[in-house]
Structure 1
């Protein structure tokens, strides 16, 4: 399996050099290296503040990753409530997902339309854009063990240039079992990365989406 592309801290919007240096001095080399690291561990570092760390978390979420304590022990319920922590910047937008896919480059246009068709057929739901690049289906609300809460989507995908990210498919009762049959992939904390749909078994993908969708009610 290939490793997913890495993100430099300087590429995270709204973060500054002191934050980057603090994280690097603590031994974290890329954004992805923070996946699963407890919030309290990082906020204790000199040079790390709540605003910058909130932007780090938002960037992780867009890649299907998360700081450790944001999801540990979370309670997830169906539907959106509008109760969202102030530092979470990823929300539903008014962008048309089809228009977004049409504006992608090269092979990702066809890949995006293929995934729109598959997710739409299995879920029967209308897609929504979340942030600048995620396409989500369904609605859930989560509350972490610390009381931090927000709205999210049940499952979806992001057809990024380097990798396609599939969200919400691993945590269903059969998610891990089906994942082993999927094909060529790499994993993040909350997502599965693939290079292109041709690398995976699309019947297995449909089964994983179906399992995820069945769990939203």
Structure 2
């Protein structure tokens, strides 16, 4: 999500105009409700297609730095991109019970919410929030 910035675009307008499939639209609204509850943050658009919750600042050893949502998703055409993964031992163990997904470099791809265990998604989100809270300057410091 490098170079992705928070925008003022309405999340509801984005979902209603961008997501064509009714099931994906329904799943998007459910993800918004769940991630809002788990993170404690209102949904915001990050870039043109990412719905994010909260924010944190990262800085790599290379000197590259930026801002990103704490947890997020994007209802892409083929599948959802879930930005809820932190590379921890607990997260890796949780993936064993997650359901049907593919792993990308920094995100998890799922076709629909019915393919995954929502309670495991909650644990992944909370593990990522805890990890970012510990390792980065983030709005998750409450």
Which TM-score band (shorter chain)?
A: 0.7 to 0.9
RMSD: 1.5
* Larger relative contact order, structure 1 or 2 (CA cutoff 8 Å, min sep 6): 2
Aligned to 2:79: 163
Match for residue 192 of structure 1 among 97, 108, 113: 108
Q: Is the 8 A contact 1:169 1:208 kept in 2?
A: yes
Q: 1:201 to 1:168 in 2, by over 3 A?
A: closer
Aligned to 1:215: 131
Larger relative strand fraction? 2
Measure, in 1, the Cα distance between the counterparts of 2:89 and 2:128. Answer: 9
Structure 2: any 5+ residue segments left out of the alignment?
A: 134-142
Measure, in 2, the Cα distance between the counterparts of 1:98 and 1:172. Answer: 32
Q: Is the 8 A contact 1:96 1:129 kept in 2?
A: yes
Aligned to 1:119: 35
Count residues in correspondence.
131
Structure 1: any 5+ residue segments left out of the alignment?
A: 1-60, 63-87
Match for residue 180 of structure 1 among 90, 96, 100: 96
Structure 1 segment 25-40 matched on structure 2, within 5 A:
none
Q: Is the 8 A contact 1:170 1:191 kept in 2?
A: no
Aligned to 2:20: 105
> Normalising by the residue count of structure 2, what TM-score does the alignment of the two structures yield?
0.85
Measure, in 2, the Cα distance between the counterparts of 1:169 and 1:183. Answer: 15
Larger Cα-atom Rg: 1
Aligned to 1:10: none
Aligned to 2:64: 148
Measure, in 2, the Cα distance between the counterparts of 1:147 and 1:126. Answer: 30
> Normalising by the residue count of structure 1, what TM-score does the alignment of the two structures yield?
0.57
Q: Is the 8 A contact 2:84 2:124 kept in 1?
A: no
Measure, in 1, the Cα distance between the counterparts of 2:89 and 2:73. Answer: 20
Q: Is the 8 A contact 2:51 2:73 kept in 1?
A: yes
